[in-house]
Each structure stands twice: as structure tokens, then as C-alpha cells.
Amino acid sequence: MRRTVSLILFSIFSLLSCNKGYIIPESDMVKILTKIFITDGVTSTPPHNILYGHDSIDYYEPILKSYGYTTAQFDSSVKYYSRNTEKFDIIFDKVVMELTRMRDKLEETSKSDTLDRNSDSNDNLWPHKTRWNMAIEYSTNPSLGFDIPVVDLGDYTISFDAQFFPDDEGVNVRHYIFFYFDDGTPIGVRENPVFATYVKDGNVHSYSYKLTLTDKQITHLKGWLYDSGNSTSNFKRNAIFSNLKVTYSPRNFDKLDSIDTRNVKVIKKLIKKAQPL
């Protein structure tokens, strides 16, 4: 980990020219360099993300801007800290510690998800991990989309918890869930859609929807849990999805219809037999 971070920081220094000016505080430098390291890791891992194929320096400026700094200020700060080895070592160690913490958290989550899938695989139709931290995992599924083949007619219940933080930069982020079949048109047929916009208050909000499938043409339950109105995909996401679950419960609609019809007939007979007062 330390050797990898060192190589990336060296590449950052080599991209920048020497300027004198504002020095970014150590605490912010740690955050910025951590984010840059993650960005470099994403851009150098094709073809799993949209960033591949661009010069990574193109993505430093939006990161700096999100923290309120310019490229020139970052340039000056990098040169300053690289000449003050003690301060640089402190920043360097903190970056490594933060990246290690993130890695350990992801490994722990992955183990937990594996246990969840093994213990609940027969009941849960959700096709992905049951917990997503969009701040660091968005590259593999930017909109957290899903495409689940239906089992049969009946009830499908999708439930999840969503925690959106105020600094999430998604525009009008919502979940959008629907039944689907391909009729040959570009978007296909979408039936029984449900959707709602998230509240970015930092609190955990629980969502649960039951969609009843009665149309035998339907082939999939589809949708996106992070459906945003942003014009590009390069923006800051800060949201956590957890306890993702999709369950199916069969229903015999023919039998239900016959029961309802029989009840109507019985009521009609009782009305006919009733004697007026």
C-alpha cells in the first residue's frame, strides 16, 4: 500500500510545475491526496469505469474545486510539503492510514455480504451486494441499477435503507423501480413504476414497495436506486445503501377470482331470500 501511494504521489509531483503561493493545510491535503489516489486507482483500471481513457490530471481540478482550492494552490502546496520532509511524512502516513481504513472496511463489508448471500440466497432475489457505499464503490455501478428476471405472477417486494449526506452532488437523485418486458422499442414497456426523491439529511431512511405482477408478458423487475439528473457522471456521490432485498410471494389469481365471484353469487342469493319488514 505504501509503495503504491508513493508512486502515485510521485506522478502527481511530476505533473505539476513549481509555483509559490497559498499553502493548503495538512488536514485538507490528506483528504485531497486520498481522493486523488482513489481517482487514479479508478482511472487506471479499465474497462470498469467511465474515467478510463482520460488523462488523470483532468480529474484533479474537480477534486480540488470540491474542497475550495485551485490547481495553482495545490501546485504550491505539493512543492512546499515535498521540501519539508517531516510534514510530508506526516501527510503521507495519514493518507496511507485512511486508504487502509477504507480497504479494511470494504473487506469487512464484502465478508458480511457473502455471509448474507449464503444465509439468505433462497429468499433474496437481489442480484448484487446488499450494501453499497457510493462514495467509493460507484465506478462499478454508477446508478446502482438492477435487472431481475421474474419468477412468476405474484407479489414482489423490494426493500432497502438509504442514507444520503448533504454534500452528495447528485441532482434530484431518486429510485425508479418497474416491471419490464421488451416490445422492440428503445426503452421497452415499463409497468407499475414507483419512484421517490431522496432527502439528503444524513439520516437513514427505509423504503419498501410491494409490486403485484399480473401480466404474463413481464420478464423482469428493473430499475435504478441512484437515478440522477446530472449531465455527466463525474460528480461527488456520498450515499450509502444497505439491507437491499427483493422477495417473491406467489399468488393464484384464478383461484382468487373464482372465490370473489362465488362470494358475489352468495350475497345475491341472500338478498333475494331476504323478506321485507
Q: What is the pLDDT of residues 259-269, one digit of tens each?
A: 444 544 544 44
Of residues 108, 78, 106, 76, the one with CA closest to residue 91: 78
Of residues 123, 159, 118, 82, the one with CA closest to residue 249: 123
Please give the span between the terminal C-alpha atoms of the chain, in angstroms, as a whole number: 91
Determine the pLDDT at residue 102. Answer: 81
Of residues 61, 65, 78, 67, the one with CA closest to residue 17: 78
Strand partners, 197: 174
Comparing 14 with 83, which gets the higher pLDDT? Answer: 83
- Write out the E strands in the chain: 132-133, 145-149, 154-164, 174-181, 189-197, 204-213, 220-227, 239-250
Determine the pLDDT at residue 89. Answer: 85
Of residues 158, 234, 231, 166, the one with CA closest to residue 196: 158
- Write down the pTM of the prediction: 0.53
Q: What is the pLDDT of residues 1-50, one digit of tens each?
A: 555 555 555 555 544 444 445 789 999 988 888 888 777 654 444 433 43
3 state DSSP class of 46: coil
* DSSP letter string, 235-255: S---EEEEEEEEEEEE--HHH
| pLDDT, the chain, mean | 79
Dihedral Cα 138, 142, 144, 149, nearest 10 deg: -130
